[in-house]
A and B are shown apart, each in its own frame.
Chain A
């Protein structure tokens, strides 16, 4: 550790004038992609030493799949963006190096808690640089809520159910909508209630973790969602005319939804000031913990020259700057990820403007007190597990099996995945 640190510090001072071209692969499309390209252009504009070429891969998953193939044939980029769920897969891949060692001089402690804990090692050193951060918040449509005489967004699930009944009685066919994606109904739910998804603090304690979400309050919540759906209080993607929860909310079909901070831009464009946001609801009797960060972080891949890495460091430094983060937030609705950027934003005269509406609620939610189970998800083959979870619970929602059976199946399949992951990385220590 010390040696690497000394080496890279040396390299930093020695190669300052050396120009290098590096590639950065990212997965975002649409507004996210435009903002990333703008940041790249700004970086290349701001200095003459380095050049970064930012290449869109059309999605996080395809980006990763291409990075795997490229790494196996030695043609991978110096920097790659990857999404939250693949964190452990990358950490153990042997293809990346921890940013905290890569750029030891950066202020890694300045990251907000929720963003840090997700991407740090069990020992607390950041492995990748948090980039586009989002989190789960709660959305309401003021006009529809008013129909049922509801003035403030409910803060508890009990309140949500009650509001949904009132909305239904008032003729709103879709009171609450979700897509049932595990990011929303499982990970963020468990984190903010301080509950584990898996043992060993969701895998932070070791590769021998096992899924435990299929019992206790998490399972009860999913059962509630299924019951509420039967009562017509909750709708899923497929139950809505729009076919998608966010669209259904934006078109005014549904009155409430749980969604990413990143959905705010489109919701506001469609509904204007009818949109109201708050932290996601929790059940009565639970202390509120932090929600997890969603979105993606930037990883440094091994096998490049020191000159390349100087360029990579310079680019990472650039993206960390307060102004860059604020600009990115403005363009995308992602939240700032460092305390200083957040402070700078709040101090600026624009803080109250609409583009920054989610920053306050989102960062608030990320900065709630944490516990060992709300650090993040540190489980292998987690992307695959998400698909299994979706498939099994979908079957339960459409009546193919009971919710308990679905959760038990998902947990059993998930545990098989974890065991295989453990075997695949036999002898590799969890950082």
Chain B
């Protein structure tokens, strides 16, 4: 480790204390409380709380609704982060070339960062409104060809479109920075060896981009989940028929609308475990990759 120069017993702790307190209160304590509630049956108004062991987990894991929600969550994590990273990668590869539009594109592609997922949800739900939106003429010609309110496939398409839109900036910045850090000499050497652009993409750019790709994958998987709430709450409310009722949304509904504190806490614990596992594994893997490369 670098630095570590000053000696003091109290000062570093005093410096770190404010953040540690905030983290304890609003990050670690909620986690602890979730675990506590997951093993108790909690009366909403706090009248009583009884220890029930694994009963909450049995109940949650035994409900078909939970599994369909968990399935939808996994599907969303994979497809939403996958589609947005792919889009950002293509755009970054294009913007890496010194074209006239590149500077403009590099600026504009960051703009969605300024738009909350809930805001773009409001906008997309209007634009893609089956009767009043941009696709309404299609519906006039072929009724029912586009109806995200009843057709789950259409709903998913709408969600992914909005998610790609709002998730482009972060991945784009990181991937572009990675691409630009690849030395020109490697390109030249590749070209002299007769490797065409596709070949160089596959053999030079992508392998050298792995550290950035991993960062983007790790963060995008977690981000897609937290951003999903704003999209779902404004666009689908979990519908149609629960098709887009992701765990993040279901926990909110169970806890805040139905006062099922124990059930919501149990699902929170399960979801946190899932995300922590996925992210933790990637972190371990990623750390090694980054060190290897730089």
Contact = CB atoms under 8 A, between A and B. Distances in A.
* Touch test A–B (CB under 8 Å): yes
Interface stretch (B174-182, B208-216, B237-245, B279-287): B237-245
B47 A394 contact: no
Contacts of A420: 41, 59, 260, 263
B259 A398 contact: no
A94 B43 CA distance: 10
A424 B43 contact: yes
Nearest to A90: B45
A416 interface: yes
B41 A424 contact: yes
Contacts of B45: 68, 71-72, 93-95
Contacts of A62: 256
A238 B240 contact: yes
Interface stretch (A27-35, A49-57, A328-336, A383-391): A383-391
Contacts of A424: 41-43
A346 interface: no
B43 A239 contact: no
A68 B42 CA distance: 12
B257 A384 contact: yes
B139 to A, nearest CB: 9
A241 interface: yes
Nearest to A409: B64
Nearest to B254: A384
A89 B63 contact: no
B83 interface: no
- Name B's interface SS: loop
Contacts of B59: 416, 420
B43 A391 contact: no
B102 interface: no
A387 B257 contact: yes
Contacts of B240: 238, 394-395, 398
B258 interface: yes
A237 B149 contact: yes
Contacts of A426: 50
Contact of A391 (B132, B149, B242): B242
A426 B43 CA distance: 10
Contacts of B234: none
Q: How large is the interface on B (under 10, 10 to 19, 20 to 34, 35 or more residues)?
A: 20 to 34
B245 A383 contact: no
A241 B257 contact: no
B241 A387 contact: no
Interface residues of A, number: 37
B203 interface: no
A225 interface: no
B44 A93 contact: yes
B152 to A, nearest CB: 8
A423 interface: yes
A391 B238 contact: yes
B50 to A, nearest CB: 7
Contacts of B151: 398
Nearest to B52: A423
B259 A89 contact: yes
Contacts of B239: 391, 394
B150 A238 contact: yes
Interface string B35-68: 0000001111111001000000001000111000
Contacts of B256: 61-62, 65
B131 interface: yes
Contact of A238 (B149, B238, B263): B149
B44 A238 contact: no
A64 interface: yes
A95 B152 CA distance: 41
B49 to A, nearest CB: 10
Contacts of A72: 45-46
Contacts of A381: 258-260
Interface of B: 41-47, 50, 59, 63-65, 129, 131-132, 147, 149-152, 238-242, 245, 253-254, 256-260, 263
Interface of A: 61-62, 64-65, 68, 71-72, 89, 93-95, 237-243, 381, 383-384, 387-388, 391-392, 394-395, 398, 400, 409, 413, 416, 420, 423-426
11 contacts: A64-B259, A65-B256, A95-B45, A243-B149, A384-B254, A384-B257, A384-B260, A387-B258, A391-B65, A391-B242, A400-B241
